[in-house]
Structure 1
Amino acid sequence: MRGALNLLLIMLLALNLRPILTSIGPLLEAMRASTGLGYQQAALLTALPVLCMGLVPLTQPWLRRWLSEHGGMLFGLGAIAAACLWRLQVASAWALIVSALLAGIGVALVQGMMPGLVNRWFPQRLAASMGLYSAALMTGGGLAAVLGPHISEYFQRWQVGLGIWAVPALLAMLAWGVLRPRQAPAQASGAARGHWFGNRRAWLLALYFGLINGGYTSMVAWLPAYHLEHGGTAQGGGDLVGLMTVFQVIGALGMPLLLRHLMDRRPGLWLALLVQLCGFSGLLLAPNSAMGLWVGLIGFGLGSCFSLSLTLTLEHVKTPAEAGSLAAFVQGIGFIITGIVPYITGWLRDVSGDFQASWTLLTLTVVAMLLVTARFVPQGYAGAMARPARGAEVQPLS
């Protein structure tokens, strides 16, 4: 019974981690017409929350001194709900940007704790549980992209399509207060508290996580605009993000299940990256012939990569405390990179006049990650984590 409640709680929390990103794209043109929001400002609506997802987890060793896990979770969910409620009345571009910053801080607090919770609650079913967490996270994003335009059209206000996502955040706050296990998490010390800056493998995992998932933020930010450029509609762009999400969920659930007997994550990551490569190549070479197919392939690859790359990170260390702090570091550095990617792809769109340069950059990134994946040999995890970066030593935090 306790395990089922924990799993339900993980999924309820995860549903709130992407609507603040995916609800933007399908409503972007209406938002721009109403507020004068420019494309560079629009990029901030995606980039700022993702940068928060990077910066906030890096402060975990210090945050834990005054903010408990319970308090941090409530504060994070409350920030998401407050930002969404604010968006119900927002009328200016800068108010939208500040609400994105507030929501990003909330998501960062919740998301930074999630891998540690999964590792602590389901240590014997880590890959499958991480797949369910990833699938729920992506489902929340897909629902926001698909339902947001319908909700806005029904109420005749685009703000409602952004603000309605306060409801699941408030429900998650209630569920966390009622359903969470009452035992306190074990206290960590030294490197287990987050001091991974001097470890080469931790940096490689962080760079890998950031780049391997960089396509997601770019697709969420620019796929609806790309669809409009090719004669589509705002609702059609949202539906494409929804289609991508369906395949993300299939990948996040299906790939760990397909490879559940393998301890080596590289075959799954190689397959996921090759599928992504096919999708981005299709957008480059034949965007009008089968856009749904290319988006589906990209979604499957992205969903698989997110789940497998987090599982790969957690398997590099032995204890839940170490896993939680390493995941915070990897997500911290990784999401900073992931947040920068859509800004770069948006800039490439501005200077080149179309999205082909953006898709080319993402294609080259996938090729590079295919090569980096060879480094992650399971038998070398312990040795890699024991080696500090050149000229650095991993010291315990005082």
Structure 2
Amino acid sequence: MTYDKARAGGLGLLVIVALGINLRPILTSIGPLLAEIREATGLGFQGASLLTVLPVLCMGLLALALPWIGPRLGENRGMIAGLLAIAGACAWRLLLDSGLALIASAVLAGAGVAIIQALVPGVVKRWFPHKVPAAMGLYSASLMAGGGSAAVLAPVLVQHSGHWQLGLGAWVGLAVLGLLLWCLLRPREARAKEPARRGAHFFGSRRAWLLALYFGLINGGYTSMVAWLPMFYRQLGWSAAGSGRLIGLMTIFQVLAALSMPALIRRSSDRRPWLALCLTIQLAGFAGLLLAPTLLPLPWVAMIGYGLGACFALSLTLTLDHLADPGAAGGLAAFVQGIGFIITGIIPYLTGWLRDATGSFQASWTLLALSVLLMLGVTLRFAPTGYARAMRGWGGAQTATAEVAR
């Protein structure tokens, strides 16, 4: 390595946090303001779901294209382009007044998010090769903290300004800050020598497809919660600020999970027991939301948040565990996020359709609970001793198990 390890450790983590915190406000600021947005634009539930669905689909499709566009774009230009797209979308939202323009801004923001989060796992694997779970946990925590803060603050901004656009566009400042930190503070190694992105893709790997399906389904609850949880409780009589605080509570527990998981799993290379535990916690929260939403709403949302936060960090760590080579592991993570986010993006559309078709969210919560239950069974497939065999023929597989065991 050509850079100072202390610089890579301290400032590198700061850069990772600055990137992560920008990746969810464009999604989470929508839910608490959905009533105001629908009233101003005339969007129905399915139309409004596109504000969540389309950015997440962009995250998936662009991540899948990374093996082809990555070598041409480059890591540095890719990060800059992603942050500029997010900043541009937020600035646009300050001015728009139609549903179509709002949906278009969601696509632009989703493209920016897609580029950044497809590149981050490879960066983490390279900058922190022996601390991947801790670095991914911090990245996941910052991602969730940014989303939760936006959900809580968006209604406050609207209440004081009287303009719902401000609640959606104020996050342009975060994107500009992230851009400055990336340009000025990223480790010198990244400037001097950017690793070449592998042109190979993982469409022919059955394990890559399984990991992608797993990532998509166990994280599908997040996009549905962001899209519909505030509206669900507003229909039960809650205020915009109160329903937004539920996303804030969910985020607090997501952050706690993302930060605590690396410490809990550091002595074991087997992620399955922890994934099973966190899926069970998530399942209990969905069951509570389904059966008794007004009895104990805060514990239900807290359990969902903890389960989702842990599963996001653990599923990405599990993916990176499969290959030791940072370039190959980053490519695998991009593929998994690509397919996974397409699945994750479809889920809130399905839950929104179920809400329109049945007149309540009960069928939506049932679908989410069943998907979590299915993934509990899939978790058993991910034994560390099987990583090398499952990824045979894909770079770095032969040392993946040893890497995880360190």
Same fold (TM over 0.5): yes
- C-alpha distance in structure 2 between counterparts of 1:35 and 1:368, whole Å: 38
Letter in 2 for 1:158: W
Alignment partner, residue 313 of structure 2: 307
- Map 1:345-364; keep pairs closer than 5 Å: 345-364=351-370
1:77 partnered with 2:83: yes
RMSD: 1.1
Letter in 1 for 2:266: R
Alignment partner, residue 217 of structure 1: 223
- Answer whether contact 1:194 1:328 (CA < 8 A) is retained: no
1:49 partnered with 2:58: no
- C-alpha distance in structure 2 between counterparts of 1:184 and 1:137, whole Å: 27
Alignment partner, residue 394 of structure 1: none
- Map 1:58-77; keep pairs closer than 5 Å: 58-77=64-83
1:155 partnered with 2:161: yes
Alignment partner, residue 193 of structure 2: 184
**Which string of whole-angstrom CA distances, capped at 9 and with x for unpartnered residues, describes residues 212-265 of structure 1?**
100000000000010011111111110000000000001111122122111100
Cα displacement (A) at 1:194: 4.1
For residue 250 of structure 2, the aligned residue among 233, 244, 251 is 244
- C-alpha distance in structure 2 between counterparts of 1:186 and 1:296, whole Å: 40
- C-alpha distance in structure 1 between counterparts of 2:160 and 2:235, whole Å: 25
1:26 partnered with 2:3: no
**Which string of whole-angstrom CA distances, capped at 9 and with x for unpartnered residues, describes residues 356-395 of structure 1?**
100001111111000000000000000011279xxxxxxx
Letter in 2 for 1:127: P
- C-alpha distance in structure 1 between counterparts of 2:307 and 2:74, whole Å: 35
Alignment partner, residue 391 of structure 1: none
Cα displacement (A) at 1:186: 2.2
Moved more, 45-54 or 280-289: 280-289
For residue 277 of structure 2, the aligned residue among 267, 271, 274 is 271
- Answer whether contact 1:196 1:202 (CA < 8 A) is retained: yes
- C-alpha distance in structure 1 between counterparts of 2:68 and 2:201, whole Å: 11
| Shift >6 Å, 4+ stretches | none
**Which string of whole-angstrom CA distances, capped at 9 and with x for unpartnered residues, describes residues 124-160 of structure 1?**
0111111000000000000000001101111111101
Alignment partner, residue 260 of structure 1: 266
- C-alpha distance in structure 1 between counterparts of 2:202 and 2:211, whole Å: 11
- Map 1:167-182; keep pairs closer than 5 Å: 167-181=173-187, 182=191
Cα displacement (A) at 1:35: 1.5
Alignment partner, residue 375 of structure 1: 381
SS in 1 for 2:130: helix
Cα displacement (A) at 1:65: 3.6
Alignment partner, residue 227 of structure 1: 233
- C-alpha distance in structure 2 between counterparts of 1:296 and 1:387, whole Å: 42
Letter in 2 for 1:187: A
- Map 1:70-219; keep pairs closer than 5 Å: 70-181=76-187, 182-189=191-198, 193-219=199-225
Structure 1 gap ranges (5+): 389-398
SS in 2 for 1:386: coil
- C-alpha distance in structure 2 between counterparts of 1:231 and 1:188, whole Å: 51
1:327 partnered with 2:333: yes
Letter in 2 for 1:286: A
- C-alpha distance in structure 2 between counterparts of 1:331 and 1:340, whole Å: 14
Q: TM-score, with normalisation over the residues of structure 2?
A: 0.93
**Which string of whole-angstrom CA distances, capped at 9 and with x for unpartnered residues, describes residues 181-232 of structure 1?**
223222254xxx3410000000000000000100000000000010011111
- C-alpha distance in structure 1 between counterparts of 2:253 and 2:165, whole Å: 28
- C-alpha distance in structure 1 between counterparts of 2:358 and 2:119, whole Å: 40
SS in 2 for 1:375: coil
SS in 1 for 2:327: helix
- C-alpha distance in structure 2 between counterparts of 1:324 and 1:267, whole Å: 24
- C-alpha distance in structure 2 between counterparts of 1:220 and 1:341, whole Å: 12
Percentage of identical aligned residues: 61
Query: How many aligned residue pairs are there?
Result: 385
Moved more, 213-222 or 225-234: 225-234
- C-alpha distance in structure 2 between counterparts of 1:325 and 1:366, whole Å: 26
- Answer whether contact 2:279 2:376 (CA < 8 A) is retained: yes
- Answer whether contact 2:226 2:247 (CA < 8 A) is retained: yes
Letter in 2 for 1:184: K
Cα displacement (A) at 1:286: 1.0
Cα displacement (A) at 1:41: 1.1
SS in 1 for 2:194: coil
Structure 2 gap ranges (5+): 1-5, 395-406
- C-alpha distance in structure 2 between counterparts of 1:312 and 1:90, whole Å: 41
- Answer whether contact 1:54 1:336 (CA < 8 A) is retained: yes
- C-alpha distance in structure 2 between counterparts of 1:259 and 1:62, whole Å: 34
